[in-house]
């Protein structure tokens, strides 16, 4: 069960990141974050009302609130990085986020077996190699890398927090709703402050209503990924769930290759292969 939900997390996050990065090339990153997360919050609010999720309110929601504060900064940094640099380079660097939940798992006493340790090493190496040999170069690329590292720290923190936010399915819906509501509020304040300083909230031609379905997909895929990761981490070792969930950059890179025709170099293909081998080791370890 852990492997299934963690791999589903990778697929959802990978597609959400691809969509978010693509949208940010036409729309300011903060606007993409606020609108996509706002749509997700509205859907989650309806689910919470329908399932009676409010009955699960308790102290654990503070973890969801904290995740909601960290999430917008991480998403903004990551979407901005995806807009600046090649997706196939930027996205794999975000796997450094795995260090936070893995460290938490080890601190809590988890001790993965030899096969799982090998799987972790092979999978992380594969995802990093999937980024290709293009890390040096122009100042824009260096800025993209810095933003990605900031995003990775934020994502890892959200991973750790959301796992602690609930212990039941209805409680998870409520936790994700609180997280998204906090994210929208925080992002909205940041967007307002940016506009007050002369920044843009909308592209030159105004809001592209045709992009609304894509924004909805990004927001809903992201929140679904948070949910599947929480389930994976609660039903198995956090160290395994975190590493399998961190394979999402391979999905982003493959989507960029298939839809944007970004060239996939030999080392990137080899990295994707290693990531698959690492996944098999973790799933069978």
Instruction: Tell me the per-residue pLDDT of 227-277, one tens digit each, with 9 for 90 and over.
Output: 888 888 887 777 777 777 877 777 877 787 777 666 656 666 676 667 667
How far, in Å, CA of 111 to CA of 17, rounded? 31
Pair of tokens at residue 83: 């807009």
How far, in Å, CA of 280 to CA of 161, rounded? 27
Residues above pLDDT 90, as percent of the chain: 12
Q: Sign (positive/negative) of CA torsion 187, 193, 199, 201?
A: positive
In this predicted structure, the answer to whether residue 77 has a pLDDT above a threshold of 90 is no
Q: Among 104-113, 155-164, 193-202, which is the least confidently predicted range?
A: 104-113
Residues with Cβ within 8 Å of residue 158, at least 6 apart in sequence: 67, 70, 71, 74, 226
- Select the more confidently predicted residue: 77 or 85: 77
Residues with Cβ within 8 Å of residue 267, at least 6 apart in sequence: 129, 132, 133
- Select the more confidently predicted residue: 183 or 57: 183
Which of helix, strand or coil describes residue 265? coil
Which contiguous run of DSSP H or E holds residue 125?
helix 114-129
Confidence of residue 92 (pLDDT cuts 50, 70, 90): low
Mean pLDDT over residues 164-178, rounded? 84
pLDDT score for 39: 93
Residues 94-132 have pLDDT tens digits of 666 766 767 767 776 666 667 767 776 776 677 666 555
């Amino acid at each position: 069960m852990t492997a299934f939900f963690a791999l589903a997390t990778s697929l959802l996050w990978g597609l959400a990141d691809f969509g978010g990065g693509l949208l940010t090339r036409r729309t300011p990153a903060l606007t993409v974050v606020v609108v996509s997360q706002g749509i997700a919050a509205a859907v989650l609010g309806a689910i919470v009302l329908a399932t009676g999720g409010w009955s699960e309110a308790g102290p654990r929601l503070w973890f969801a609130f904290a995740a909601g504060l960290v999430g917008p900064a991480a998403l903004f940094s990551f979407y901005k990085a995806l807009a600046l640099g090649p997706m196939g380079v930027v996205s794999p660097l975000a796997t450094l986020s795995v260090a936070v939940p893995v460290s938490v798992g080890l601190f809590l006493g988890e001790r993965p077996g030899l096969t799982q340790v090998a799987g972790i090493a092979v999978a992380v190496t594969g995802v990093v190699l999937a980024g290709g040999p293009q890390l040096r170069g122009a100042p824009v690329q260096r800025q993209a890398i810095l933003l990605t590292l900031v995003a990775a720290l934020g994502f890892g923190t959200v991973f750790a927090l959301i796992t602690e936010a609930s212990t039941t399915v209805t409680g998870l819906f409520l936790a994700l709703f609180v997280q998204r509501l906090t994210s929208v509020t925080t992002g909205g304040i940041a967007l307002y402050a940016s506009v007050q300083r002369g920044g843009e909230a909308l592209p030159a031609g105004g809001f592209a209503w045709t992009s609304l379905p894509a924004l909805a997909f990004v927001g809903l895929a992201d929140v679904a990924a948070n949910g599947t990761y929480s389930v994976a981490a609660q039903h198995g070792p956090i160290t395994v769930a975190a590493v399998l969930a961190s394979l999402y950059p391979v999905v982003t890179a493959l989507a960029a290759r298939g839809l944007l025709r970004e060239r996939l170099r030999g080392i990137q293909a080899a990295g994707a292969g290693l990531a698959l081998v690492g996944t098999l080791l973790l799933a069978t370890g």
